[in-house]
Amino acid sequence: MPKSSKDVSVWVIRRLPRYYRFLNELLRNGICRISSRELSQKMGLTASQIRQDLNCFGGFGQQGYGYNVELLHNEIGNILGLNKKIPIVLIGAGNLGRALTIHMDFDYRGFNLIGIFDVNPAIIGTEIGGVKVSDMSELEAFCKKEHPQAAILCIPKAAAHDVAENLISWGVKGFWNFSHYDLSFHFPDVITENVHLGDSLMTLCFMINNDTSSDPEPKDE
């Protein structure tokens, strides 16, 4: 391991989930061992890139043997901290919030979805994916009792500032942000993972119009 995970390049960090995903697929296909050459072909990276990436965390490969798939899969899961099951709340149970709740396996990805909050009386009290939708007015008491560390923001941009400010004051330290509100600019100390689906769609528009490809999994070389 490097002295601190802060020393590891953002791109290595962003590739870790991808390694985890590929290795999981290999495991499910009963593949126990893979060379860095084979892994690199599957992932569209160079073998040297993979060795460099994994060396950031201490290696894991064996000369002439390659990688033990299960071991590497579990190690990457440990590096990501997927076993920690960070308590997370969903704010905004409209179409997108509902889709994420049902579509995402939070547990597999290191989180425990402990609460869903909305302002719409029509859905308050209903359940989505086994979790009850509560009234936003109950959020403060909930946070003080259950201590969620993360929140998914599926709310309009106009509501995002106040909701985030409150959540931060109640102990939330990380956001999965679908709101298009620039949280990092206003709360620079908060951990934010933005998802801009609209930007992604406009990028596709450019690529189709120009018949060009913007490598969807860019390398930092």
Work out how close the CB of 72 gets to its own copies at its nearest, in angstroms, rounded to a whole number: 15
Cβ-based nearer residue to its own copies, 66 or 110: 110
Cβ-based nearer residue to its own copies, 27 or 195: 195
Work out how close the CB of 43 gets to its own copies at its nearest, in angstroms, rounded to a whole number: 9
Work out how close the CB of 184 gets to its own copies at its nearest, in angstroms, rounded to a whole number: 7
CA distance 8 to 15: 11
Could you tell me the two tokens for 146? 């259950």
Cβ-based nearer residue to its own copies, 62 or 214: 214
Work out how close the CB of 212 gets to its own copies at its nearest, in angstroms, rounded to a whole number: 5
Cβ-based nearer residue to its own copies, 63 or 122: 122
